[in-house]
Structure 1
Amino acid sequence: MKTEFILLRHGETEWNGLGRLQGHQDSALSAKGLRQADALAARLASVSFHALYCSDLGRAQETARRIAARTGHSVLEDRRLRERGLGLLEGLTRDEASQRHPEVFAEYAAGGPDFVIPGGESASQRLRHMVECLKELGVRHVGARIVVVTHGGVLSSLFRHCLGIPPGTPRTFSVLNASWSQFDYHEGAFRLVTWGDVNHLRDASHDDT
């Protein structure tokens, strides 16, 4: 028996709109992000699922709360679902990070999976936490469908992990805010079913795509 995962990226935040690196820091959902979260909630209102999990960071919590208000589920938080910690780069735009911490930013931008940002963590460390969590949930909810609200960076890493794409390969795919991706978990392995679906945003408002 398989476990079905619906993995969601949180709605757009104020910092997303400004191009600021967030990591473990947070900013509120923007007006657009709130509409996106509500569009996810409306879509999930007609979907049967067993449990609703989210990262413990505020942007994921708010997205999950809006879903829960429509579906009636409790929101179950797990810090292993949070975004990669970006340490001293958090709160900066990419231009600011490049100017203030050129060597660190260059290493970060190169995409090496094992580079640990000072005060933060590596992409591979965060992926291990994410996969550990999802495997636990896969066993806990075997035969069921669950929804998980998480972050762009960890979704990107999971996508690569699932498809066997080397972590340092330049990214040639999008991870949109409030996107909907589906994975099956069976016998210890993940299988990609759907990636980056945003049809619910097009239905809600053309401005949200």
Structure 2
Amino acid sequence: MKTELILLRHGETEWNSLGLLQGHRDSPLSTEGLRQADALAARLSTLSFSALYSSDLGRALETARRISTRTGHEVHADARLRERGLGLLEGLTRDEARQRHPDIFGEYSTNAPDYVVPGGESVSQRLNHAVECLGEVGQRHPGERVVVVTHGGVLSSFFRHSLGIPPNTPRAFSVRNACWNQFDYQQGSFVLVTWGDLTHLRATSRDDP
């Protein structure tokens, strides 16, 4: 039996709004990010699902907890769902990273799957953790629907992995905050069903009271 995996990116953070590289460092959800998390929660409150998993980083947990408040599910945190660690690039804008660490940022920008940022990790290392975790979740919940809150980098790598796209292929798709993505897991494989759904955000606006 297949497992339906609803993979969500966390709501916008204050660092997202400033264009800072986050990695394992954290930043609270912005006002817009809280609205996005609540919009996800409202959508999920009308959908039956069996379990709620999340990265253990604060921005994902904050999003998951706002969902939990509406749906009543316990949040199961797992470090394997974390964003890729970016080491000494964390907390910098891309322009700052390019100016202060040109060689490192240049290597990072190629998306080479095995390049380890000093003090951080590679795309492959982080993807392997996520695939292992999501495979276990799929096996644990056959025939069920499960919600997972994770990060943009994880989703981007997982998208490529599932479709067989080389990891260093330039990204020609978006991974928006609070996006809704569905993959079906069956017999050890992941099949993309929905990507980048933002209909829950269009139901409200920044101007709503």
Could you list the structure 1 runs, at least 4 aligned residues long, displaced by more than 6 angstroms after superposition. Answer: none
3-state SS in 1 of match to 2:203: helix
| CA–CA distance in structure 2, aligned partners of residues 20 and 114 of structure 1 | 23
Gaps of 5+ in 1: none
The alignment's TM-score, normalised by the length of structure 2, stands at 0.98
1:168 partner letter: N
TM-score (norm 1): 0.98
AA at the equivalent of 2:123: A
- The answer to whether the 8 A contact 2:32-2:206 is kept is no
Q: What is the distance in 1 between the residues matched to 2:21 and 2:176? A: 15
Distance 1:11 1:106 in 2: 28
Q: What are the within-5 Å matches in structure 2 for residues 154-165 of structure 1?
A: 154-165=154-165
- Verify the 8 A CA contact 2:41 2:70 in the aligned structure 1: yes
Q: Counterpart in 1 of 2:180? A: 180
C-alpha distance in 1 between matches for 2:182 and 2:205: 23
Query: Quick one: distance in 2 between partners of 1:172 and 1:109?
Result: 15
Pair 1:152 & 2:152 matched: yes
For the pair 1:130 / 2:130, whether they are aligned, the reply is yes
Give CA-to-partner distance per residue, 1:125-179, whole Å, 9 cap, x none. Answer: 0000000000001111111100000000000000000011111010000000000
Q: 2:84 matched to which residue of 1?
A: 84
**Equivalent-residue separation in structure 1 for 2:203 and 2:182 (angstroms):** 19
CA deviation after TM superposition for structure 1 residue 206, in Å: 6.3
In structure 2, the residue corresponding to 1:175 is in which secondary structure? coil
Q: Which residue of 1 aligns with 2:117?
A: 117
**Which one-letter code corresponds to 1:60 in the other structure?**
A
8 Å CA contact 2:5, 2:145 repeated in 1: yes
Amino acid at match of 1:84: R
Does structure 1 residue 194 correspond to structure 2 residue 194?
yes
What letter is aligned with 1:3?
T
Measure how far apart 1:204 and its partner are: 1.5
Count of paired positions: 208
Structure 1 residue identity aligned to 2:200: H
- Give, in whole Å, the separation in 1 of the partners of 2:96 and 2:127: 26
Query: Aligned-residue CA RMSD in angstroms?
Result: 1.1
Aligned to 2:195, what secondary structure does the other structure show? Answer: strand
Q: 2: distance between equivalents of 1:91 and 1:40? A: 27
Cα distance in 2 for partners of 1:108, 1:36 equals 29
- Conservation of the 8 A alpha-carbon contact between 2:3 and 2:185: yes
The amino acid that maps onto 1:33 is G
Question: Could you tell me which residue of structure 1 aligns to residue 166 of structure 2?
Answer: 166
- What code does the residue aligned with 1:164 have? G
Q: What 5-or-longer segments of structure 2 have no aligned partner?
A: none
